[in-house]
Amino acid sequence: MLSTNGGCDLPCWLGLHPGSATWEDVAYLFAPVATSEIPFPPSVVTKRYDFGLSLNRLDIVNLLLGLFEKEGVVQHIYVNYSAVNERDNPAYNASFANAVRRYSLQQILADNGVPSRVLLEIPAYPAELNAPWWFTVWVFYDELGILAEYRGEGLAHSGDQIRVCPEFSRVHGISLSLQSPESDIHIENLSNETAYIEEGLKKGWIHTLQESTTLDLGGFYLTFVQTENRGCFVTPLDFW
């Protein structure tokens, strides 16, 4: 089901349409694989429920699902896929990783076109000697109700620049924040990192694509939508 997204397009997720899916739909889909009991609200105000899904037969969570419910209807969906390509992680599952490719950067771009915003977090150096050097890319489709976040490693210095290649094989985690296009909530407010993004933009460790690279949104799309193109971009080292 992951590999086909339940036969529907984002912001629908595995057949759950934000704004119309019921809590009974949730229980039917996920009760067999949830690592905790799925509560039955319904709430008169919008309330978030988090539970993990174990798809590796080890009871290790590799999919965290956050559902925002009001009066028995799913209003918003947050999904975090972990250990996507971390083969030494006990939560890694090859079939799961292959299915999650459905939500790769290339596929998200191919399905939805040029994004409305792209944010980047690119540390100038790894946090510690011999530690993984992580990047984060947030891709927004505000008008569609879609935010995709990609976390991975594999940055490299290229002279006075940092070379970033967010191809699927380098991505270790993917998060999706989804809501109905009719929603009046800013999509980033559904993410687990809302405060982090806001602070990062204010203090300068998160930047827009346009201010930190030579790419515009159209150029970003063309660089990474091609399946045969292992796209990369560069950003000035001293910018970060």
- Residues 22-54: tens digit of each pLDDT: 988 888 887 666 655 666 666 666 778 877 766
Domain assignment of residue 110, yes or no? yes
Could you report how far apart the first and last alpha carbons of the chain are, in Å?
A: 40
Q: How far apart are CA 8 and CA 183, in angstroms?
A: 19
pTM for this model (two decimals) = 0.88
Q: Determine which helix (DSSP H) or strand (DSSP E) holds 136, and give its type and residue range.
A: strand 134-141
Q: Is residue 57 located within the same domain as residue 115?
A: no
Q: Is residue 140 located within the same domain as residue 47?
A: no
Checking if the pLDDT of 58 tops 50, the result is no
Q: Is residue 110 located within the same domain as residue 77?
A: no
Please report the pLDDT score of residue 63 as a whole number. Answer: 76
Q: Is residue 190 located within the same domain as residue 226?
A: yes
Percent of the chain with pLDDT over 70: 80
Q: How far apart are CA 231 and CA 229, in angstroms?
A: 5
Q: How far apart are CA 224 and CA 148, in angstroms?
A: 14
The pLDDT tens digits for 80-101 are 887 666 666 655 667 777 778 8
Q: Is residue 25 located within the same domain as residue 131?
A: no
Q: Is residue 44 located within the same domain as residue 120?
A: no
Q: How far apart are CA 82 and CA 86, in angstroms?
A: 9
Q: Is residue 137 located within the same domain as residue 233?
A: yes
* Cβ pair 42, 72 in contact under 8 A: yes
Q: What are phi and psi of 29, to 5 degrees?
A: -75, -40
Contacts of 27 (CB under 8 A, 6+ apart): 38, 40
Q: What angle do the packed helices 217-224 and 105-112 form, to 10 degrees?
A: 120
Q: Is residue 73 located within the same domain as residue 108?
A: no
* Cβ pair 180, 135 in contact under 8 A: no
The pLDDT tens digits for 207-226 are 999 999 999 999 999 999 98
In this prediction, residue 199 has a pLDDT band, given cuts at 50, 70 and 90, of: very high
Produce one character per residue of 213-226: b if its CB has 16 or more CB atoms within 10 Å, e if not.
bebebeebbeebbe
Q: Is residue 76 located within the same domain as residue 171?
A: no
What percent of the residues of the chain are helix, what percent strand, and what percent coil, each to the nearest 5?
A: 25, 30, 45
Contacts of 122 (CB under 8 A, 6+ apart): 135, 136, 155, 162, 164, 212, 235, 240
Q: Is residue 20 located within the same domain as residue 54?
A: yes
Q: Is the peptide bond before 42 cis (omega within 30 degrees of 0)?
A: yes
Q: Is residue 19 located within the same domain as residue 51?
A: yes
SS3 1: coil
